[in-house]
Each structure stands twice: as C-alpha cells, then as structure tokens.
Structure 1
Amino acid sequence: MDQPTCVFATVLPAPDPDLKEKRLVTDRRTPHVAPRARELQVTGTAELRSPADRASVRVCVSSSKESVNEATDSVSRRIDYILQCVRTHGINNEDVLVRKFLHREEDQYHMNAEVTVTFSDFTKMELVCRLLLEKLDKSVIVGLPQYFYSPECLNHLRRRVCASAVENAKQKASDMGQILGQTLGSPLLIVEEEMREVHNENNASEHGSLTPLPSIPSSTAFSRVSITFNIRDRTGKTL
C-alpha cells in the first residue's frame, strides 16, 4: 500500500504596496558620504626683529627775573627759536608739545618751559639737537632721546612674522610632497597657534664707554602657524 504524500505550504501575507515607496524615500534621504581627501598638516615658524621707530627729546628752558614780563619774554624767545628749528626740519606740529610753568620765590619770578619733540628720523634728530646746542648753548638743556615703538611699527612686525611663518610652512609642505611624489592642493585650514613678542633693552654703555650713549632698543616677534593642505597626484586629481 502506497504511503500518503504530505505537502507543506506557507502562505505569505500580501505585500504592502507602500513598502517600495517608503524604501525609495528612505534611500533618497540618506546623504551620500564622499570619501575624505588625503591631507597633509604642517607647522611653520618664524622670528623677526625690529628696532624702535620713534624717539622723543626734551628741551628745557628756564629764566629767573625780577619781573614777570622779563622772565616770560626770555623764555618765549628761546622757545620760538626751538619751534622754528624743528619746523624747518619738517617736524609736524602734532609731534611737538610745549609746557610752561611760572612761579615766584621771594622777589624772583621763575619761568620754566619744556619742549618735547618726537622724531621718526633719527639722523634728523641728531642734527636738530646739535643745532640747538650750538645756537642756544647753556641757555637750554637738551635731554637724551627716549626710544619707543609706534603702534604701526609693532603691527607691521606682527604681520611680517606671521606671513613669514606661513611661507615657511608652505615650503615645508611642498618639500614633503616632492619626497612623497605628490603635489599640494589648496590649503584647507590655517591656524596661528602662537604669537609672542620680546622687547629687548640694549646695553647703553657699549665698548667700555665712560659716558653711556643711548642705544636703540629692539623688539623680537615669534609666530607659529599650522596649515592643512590637500594632496594631489601628478595629474592634479585630489587623492
């Protein structure tokens, strides 16, 4: 007698007609992530030094007389000569400051005045000081120059040292690319990681001089930058 035959079947649920559409919507919403380009990150440093670009000189004038007019007139004549001298040498009015003070002690009137001149040309400063001493002699006191930095000088120094650090970083990256057989693409990120300044006061008495001479101080700026470049193959295609 033949054995009965058994048949097993599984009834699947009807497909959801919206499933395909949902799947398409999901695929469209998933962003395509491009492979990240190969990068080269380097650091570059630079150090630059710049001397002070400004100097101020004080010229003092005084007079002691028995009358106010005599004291003030004596000082005014010398101040007028000082102002004429600095203007003749191209010094602007905003770089000249005049201060006066009159007081009395017993029967004497004392007039004290001070003219402060700011120079950007140190050769011109030496010439003006010499002329004042030659013409006015002991009737004036010409002080030693006081050197300092203008804001423009320090800003220019910071920009120069930062640009030099960037150039050094670019050259380093280019050299590394040549070793690897690649060329550099465009920079992706530039960061200045460090910027510092050191103001140096030079030694005033050099070469064993008995009379200290004023020396020009200098400022040293240091910059370190980090730059990330794309690496391209020799055909110009980004890897």
Structure 2
Amino acid sequence: MSLQPAPPSRVFMELVPWANLGRENNPIPTLETQPVGSRSHAAKAHPGAREVHVSGAAEVSASPDRAQVIVRVSSTKEAAAEAKKSVSRRLDYITQSLQQQGLQTENVTVTKDIRRVENAYHMEAEVCITFTEFGKMQNICNFLVEKLDSSVVISPPEFYHTQGSIENLRRQACLVAVENAWRKAQEVCDLVGQTLGKPLLIKEEETKELEGQFDDQQIPEPWRERV
C-alpha cells in the first residue's frame, strides 16, 4: 500500500521588536490626538512608545506704535470774557494747525476749565493729541513752540502700545517658541535616525512682558515666551 504524499506545509512568521515581546496578542493602539493639557493614555500604558520631550523659548520686541502729547494754554484776567477770548484765540490756532497737518479729529481731544482765582478768572484748556507718526509729532510740537512761544506748554510725549499690537506680539512670541521647539526635536530625531511625528502635547510654561524707558527714550517692549 503506497502512502499518500503529505500536503505542503506553510509557515507564517512575524518579526516583533524586542520591546513588544510578550505582547503579540495585545498590539499598541494608535495614538490619538489629545487636547492641550492632557497626556496620551496609550503612551502611559505602553512604555515602549517612542517620545521626545523638548522645550523652546523665544523673545520678540516691538517699538511703541502710539504717542500722546498734551498742549496747554491758559490765561488769567479780571473779566471772565477776556480770559475766554485769550484762550480761545490760541486754541483755534492750535486746532487749525493740526488740521492742516492732516491729523484726524478723533485723535484730538479738547477740554476747557475756568475758575475764580482771588479777584480774577483763570481759564485753562488742554489739547490731547494722539500721534501714529512720530516724525510728524516732533514737527508739530516744534512749530507750536516757535509760533506761540511761552504762551503754550507742551508735555513730553508719552509712548505706548495699542492692545492690538500687544496681542500680535504675544502671538508672535508663542509661534516662534513652538517653532524653536520643533526644530530642536527634529534635530534630535535626525541624530538618532528616527522620524519626527505629530506633536502629542504643546504646553505654555512661562511668559514675561517688560517695558520701560532708558535715558528718556522709549525702549522696545520685549515679550518672552517659553513652551
């Protein structure tokens, strides 16, 4: 009696990394996107998951985009009408000069005050001017001093940042810090021969905002960000 030939055998083999030995029947699930401030549970449950932790910092600065100047005129007369007339004449000259220089009315605010001082009337007016062009501000202030001399008092300019420029500065610092962290992570992965994937967590750790003056000159406002 002849034996029937045995059917050809088939062998299936799979190469499993050393870190995954003993977990062939329990593969590591794919990491899912987690909200900012939380850790991936898959990464915690499986120490074999490869991660790289880096930090990045950035510092950006911007010069002020606004300046405010106050022009004061005053007069003291025995009659209230004379005090008003003296102030109004110079006040009209100032406002007309500002209009000729192209300043918008919304950037000019005028306040007036009259009060009794002993046996006379004292009237004072203030013109608050907001400038976006600092060269024009200097030219106008010099012009008013030359034309009105000591009858006008001009305050030193007060420089500041608008809220919009500050928000843009904060956003720029954050983006640059994240970019610096990403570059650092990319260099680490290249060094060890790995491929950098999508970020699992981005956390803002520290922010600092500084502003001030030095030698009567406004210095740019730096914004420091660390992620």
Report the TM range for the smaller structure's normalisation. Answer: 0.7 to 0.9
Equivalent position to 1:34, from 26, 29, 34: 29
TM-score between the two structures when normalised by the length of structure 2:
0.74
Larger mean Cα displacement after TM superposition, 100-109 or 74-83: 100-109
Kept after mapping to 2: 8 A contact 1:40/1:173 = yes
After superposition, residues 66-215 of structure 1 pair within 5 angstroms as: 66-204=78-216, 215=217
Q: Residue deviations 1:200-238, cap 9 Å, x none?
A: 32123xxxxxxxxxx11332211111xxxxxxxxxxxxx
Q: CA deviation at 1:79?
A: 1.2
Amino acid corresponding to residue 114 of structure 1 in structure 2: E
Amino acid corresponding to residue 220 of structure 1 in structure 2: P
The whole-number CA distance in structure 1 between the counterparts of 2:102 and 2:195 is 54
Kept after mapping to 2: 8 A contact 1:56/1:119 = yes
Kept after mapping to 2: 8 A contact 1:147/1:217 = no
The whole-number CA distance in structure 2 between the counterparts of 1:90 and 1:144 is 21
RMSD over aligned CA atoms reads 2.1
Unaligned runs of 5+ in 1: 1-30, 205-214, 226-239
1:199 is paired with a residue whose SS is: coil
Amino acid corresponding to residue 42 of structure 1 in structure 2: V
Amino acid corresponding to residue 218 of structure 1 in structure 2: P
Q: Which residue of 2 aligns with 1:64?
A: 76
Q: Which residue of 2 aligns with 1:222?
A: 224
Amino acid corresponding to residue 122 of structure 2 in structure 1: H
Amino acid corresponding to residue 50 of structure 1 in structure 2: A
After superposition, residues 42-57 of structure 1 pair within 5 angstroms as: 42-57=54-69
Relative to structure 1, the CA distance from residue 168 to residue 118 in structure 2 (aligned partners, 3 Å threshold; closer, same or farther) is same
- Which contiguous aligned blocks of 4+ residues in structure 1 show a shift greater than 3 angstroms? none
TM-score between the two structures when normalised by the length of structure 1:
0.70
Amino acid corresponding to residue 78 of structure 2 in structure 1: E
Larger mean Cα displacement after TM superposition, 104-113 or 71-80: 104-113
Q: Residue deviations 1:46-96, cap 9 Å, x none?
A: 112223222211111011223222211221121122122223333333322
Q: Which one has a bigger Cα radius of gyration?
A: 1
Equivalenced residue count is: 185
Q: Which residue of 1 aligns with 2:15?
A: none
Amino acid corresponding to residue 158 of structure 2 in structure 1: Q
Q: CA deviation at 1:106?
A: 4.0
Q: CA deviation at 1:111?
A: 1.0
Kept after mapping to 2: 8 A contact 1:63/1:75 = yes
Amino acid corresponding to residue 217 of structure 1 in structure 2: I
The whole-number CA distance in structure 2 between the counterparts of 1:120 and 1:84 is 19
Q: CA deviation at 1:33?
A: 5.5
Amino acid corresponding to residue 131 of structure 1 in structure 2: F
Identity across the alignment (%): 44
Larger mean Cα displacement after TM superposition, 180-189 or 170-179: 180-189
Q: CA deviation at 1:44?
A: 0.6
The whole-number CA distance in structure 2 between the counterparts of 1:143 and 1:111 is 18
Kept after mapping to 2: 8 A contact 1:202/1:218 = no
Kept after mapping to 2: 8 A contact 1:61/1:141 = yes
Relative to structure 1, the CA distance from residue 166 to residue 101 in structure 2 (aligned partners, 3 Å threshold; closer, same or farther) is same
Q: Which residue of 2 aligns with 1:236?
A: none
